[in-house]
C-alpha cells in the first residue's frame, strides 16, 4: 500500500493501517524520527559537569550529559566494541561510562578513553574514531534540550517557531522559569505512539465524555465556550481557554495549575494568585488570560499545562509505546508548593493517575480497532470542522474552536508528506 492511499488529500480520512502496519512504522523511523528535533530532557536535570540522564530518540537509547566543559552532549548508549549499553543508571553523575563486557571506558562527552586490552597488542586502535556515536545536533531552548540525527536540520528555534509564543505563556509567567522535578515516570502501553500525541495535541473534546467521573459537564461547557485550538505549524498545537477581559484573578490563576490550585490549600492558591497578578506584565495581556490545557510538539512531545507535566511517547514498534512523563514546577517556588504540584500531576496524569488510566485504556482499544479484519474500507473520520480554521488577529497560527479536528488533519498531512519523502528509498 502506498502512503498516498493511507491519508486522503485533506486528511479527513486516515487509514487504520497508519496505526498498525509494520512497514508504515519503518517509514516513520526514517521519515520522521531520523529527521526531527526530538526531546531529550531538561537542563535542570543536568546542572553540574558529569550529570547525565537517559533518553531515547525513537528506539535509539541516548545519554544526555553535561560535559566537563559545561556543554550539552548526547551520545548513543551503545559500545563501539560490541554494542552493549555503557550506561545503565537512569540518571546520575560520573567521570566515565564503563562497558560491562570488556570495560572500555568513555568520557561523559562520549570519547573513548581506555581499552584495557590494548597494552597486550602491538597495533593500537585509534581511539579518536571509536567514541560513542554522537547525536550531531543538540540544542536547548528555555532549558528544554532536543537532539536531531539530521545535521542539516533547521535551528531548534525555527523548528519550534510560533509554538514558543504559547510555551512562553507558561514558562515566562514564572520569574525563575520552570524545572523538571525528579526522574520521569516510565511505563509501557500496548498502543500506537501517535494516539497519545493526538490526544494532547488538541483532543480536549473527549474530556466530559471519557472523564465524566472527574470533569463535570459545566467545566466542559466552559471549554467549549472559551476554548481555542491553535496550530502554529502542522504537528505543533495548543489548546487553552481564553478568559474574558477583567476576569477575576482567582478564576484565571486556579486553573493555571489545574486541580493543584483547588485541592492544594491556601498556600498554593496564594502563590498562584501572586503569580497571576503579575502575569500581564510578564507575558502580555492576551497570554495572561490563557488557561492552557494541552500542547503538542511534533512529533512526540506533549505538555499538559493544566497538570504541569511534559510527556514523550517513545515508539516501540507499531503496537507499543514507552511513555515518559515528568512533573514540571516553577523553579523558584517554595518546596511545599512544588510538592503540591507534583502530587497534583501524579494523581491525575502519572501512570496511576485517575485521568491517565482512562486515556491509556482508550489508546489500547484504538490500537485493537486498528487491527481488526475486514474493516480497511472504513478509514477513521477526521473531518470535523473541515476548513473552518482561520488566522486570528492576536494569536499566531491557525485558530478554531476545540471541536475542530484540524490539529489532527495538519499532523497527518505533515506525517504523510514526510513518509512519502522516504518511500521507495532504502
Where on the chain is the footprint of Fe ion (CB under 5 A)? 359
Residue 79 or 238 having the CB closest to ligand FES: 79
Per rule CB under 6 A, is residue 230 in the interface with ligand FES? no
3-state helix, strand, coil in the chain (%, to 5): 35, 25, 40
| Distance of closest approach, residue 93 Cβ to ligand FES, in angstroms | 22
Per rule CB under 6 A, is residue 79 in the interface with ligand FES? yes
Per rule CB under 6 A, is residue 84 in the interface with ligand FES? yes
Residue 87 or 181 having the CB closest to ligand FES: 87
Q: Is the peptide bond before 299 cis (omega within 30 degrees of 0)?
A: yes
Residue 125 or 385 having the CB closest to ligand FES: 125
Whole-angstrom distance, CA of residue 56 vs CA of residue 104: 22
Chain position carrying cell 547525536: 135
Burial of 124 (0-12, 13-18, 19+ CB in 10 A): exposed
Whole-angstrom distance, CA of residue 321 vs CA of residue 189: 5
**Member of 5, 22, 82, 175 binding ligand FES (CB under 6 A):** 82
Per rule CB under 6 A, is residue 117 in the interface with ligand FES? no
Candidates 63-71, 80-88, 320-328, 382-390: pick the segment binding ligand FES (CB under 6 A). 80-88
The grid cell for 400 is 478554531
Burial of 149 (0-12, 13-18, 19+ CB in 10 A): buried
Chain position carrying cell 511545599: 336
| Distance of closest approach, residue 327 Cβ to Fe ion, in angstroms | 18
Residue 146 or 382 having the CB closest to Fe ion: 382
* Contact of residue 209 among ligand FES, Fe ion, none (CB under 5-8 Å per partner type): none
Strand pairing class (227-233; 105-107):
unpaired
Cβ burial 301-328 (10 Å sphere, 16+ → b, else e): bbbbbbbbbbbbbbbbebbebbbbbbbb
Between residue 97 and residue 116, which ones bind ligand FES under the rule CB under 6 A? 99, 101-102, 104
Q: How many CA atoms lie within 13 A of 277 on its CB side?
A: 7
If DSSP codes are grouped into helix, strand and coil, which group holds residue 187? strand
| Distance of closest approach, residue 71 Cβ to ligand FES, in angstroms | 25
| Distance of closest approach, residue 204 Cβ to Fe ion, in angstroms | 8
Residue 28 or 359 having the CB closest to Fe ion: 359
* Contact of residue 359 among ligand FES, Fe ion, none (CB under 5-8 Å per partner type): Fe ion
Whole-angstrom distance, CA of residue 391 vs CA of residue 381: 24
Whole-angstrom distance, CA of residue 160 vs CA of residue 376: 35
Residues 311-350, mask of contacts with ligand FES (x by CB under 6 A): ----------------------------------------
Point out which residues bind ligand FES (CB under 6 A): 79, 81-82, 84, 99, 101-102, 104
Amino acid at each position: 500500500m502506498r502512503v498516498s492511499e493511507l491519508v486522503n488529500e485533506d486528511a479527513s480520512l486516515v487509514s487504520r493501517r497508519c496505526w498498525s502496519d509494520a512497514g508504515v512504522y519503518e517509514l516513520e523511523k526514517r521519515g520522521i524520527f531520523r529527521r526531527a528535533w526530538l526531546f531529550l530532557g531538561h537542563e535542570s536535570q543536568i546542572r553540574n559537569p558529569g550529570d547525565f540522564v537517559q533518553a531515547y530518540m525513537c528506539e535509539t537509547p541516548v545519554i544526555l550529559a553535561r560535559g566537563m566543559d559545561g556543554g550539552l552532549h548526547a551520545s548513543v548508549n551503545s559500545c563501539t566494541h560490541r554494542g552493549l549499553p555503557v550506561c545503565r543508571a537512569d540518571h546520575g553523575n560520573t567521570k566515565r561510562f564503563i562497558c560491562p563486557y570488556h570495560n572500555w571506558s568513555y568520557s561523559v562527552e562520549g570519547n573513548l578513553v581506555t581499552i584495557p586490552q590494548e597494552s597486550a597488542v602491538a597495533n593500537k586502535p585509534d581511539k579518536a574514531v571509536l567514541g560513542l556515536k554522537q547525536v550531531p545536533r543538540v540544542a536547548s531552548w528555555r532549558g528544554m534540550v532536543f537532539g536531531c540525527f539530521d545535521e542539516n536540520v533547521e535551528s531548534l528555534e525555527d523548528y519550534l517557531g510560533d509554538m514558543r509564543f504559547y510555551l512562553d505563556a507558561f514558562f515566562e509567567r514564572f520569574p525563575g522559569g520552570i524545572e523538571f522535578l525528579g526522574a520521569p515516570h516510565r511505563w509501557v502501553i500496548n498502543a500506537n505512539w501517535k494516539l497519545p500525541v493526538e490526544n494532547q495535541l488538541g483532543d480536549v473534546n473527549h474530556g466530559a465524555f471519557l472523564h465524566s467521573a472527574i470533569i463535570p459537564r459545566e467545566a466542559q461547557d466552559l471549554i467549549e465556550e472559551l476554548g481555542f485550538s491553535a496550530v502554529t505549524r502542522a504537528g505543533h498545537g495548543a489548546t487553552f481557554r481564553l478568559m474574558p477581559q477583567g476576569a477575576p484573578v482567582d478564576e484565571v490563576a486556579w486553573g493555571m495549575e489545574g486541580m493543584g490550585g483547588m485541592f492544594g490549600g491556601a498556600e498554593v492558591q496564594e502563590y498562584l494568585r501572586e503569580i497571576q497578578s503579575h502575569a500581564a506584565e510578564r507575558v502580555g495581556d492576551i497570554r495572561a488570560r490563557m488557561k492552557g490545557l494541552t500542547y503538542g510538539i511534533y512529533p512526540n512531545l506533549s505538555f499538559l499545562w493544566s497538570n504541569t507535566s511534559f510527556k514523550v511517547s517513545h515508539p516501540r514498534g507499531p503496537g507499543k509505546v514507552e511513555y515518559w512523563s515528568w512533573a514540571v514546577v516553577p523553579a523558584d517556588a517554595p518546596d511545599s508548593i512544588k510538592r503540591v504540584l507534583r502530587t497534583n500531576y501524579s494523581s491525575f496524569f502519572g501512570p496511576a493517575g485517575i485521568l491517565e488510566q482512562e486515556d491509556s485504556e482508550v489508546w489500547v482499544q484504538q490500537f485493537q480497532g486498528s487491527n481488526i479484519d475486514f474493516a480497511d474500507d472504513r478509514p477513521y473520520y477526521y473531518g470535523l470542522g473541515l476548513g473552518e480554521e482561520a488566522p486570528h488577529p492576536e494569536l499566531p497560527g491557525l485558530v478554531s474552536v476545540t471541536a475542530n479536528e484540524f490539529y489532527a488533519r495538519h499532523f497527518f498531512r505533515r506525517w504523510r508528506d514526510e513518509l512519502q519523502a522516504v518511500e521507495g528509498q532504502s
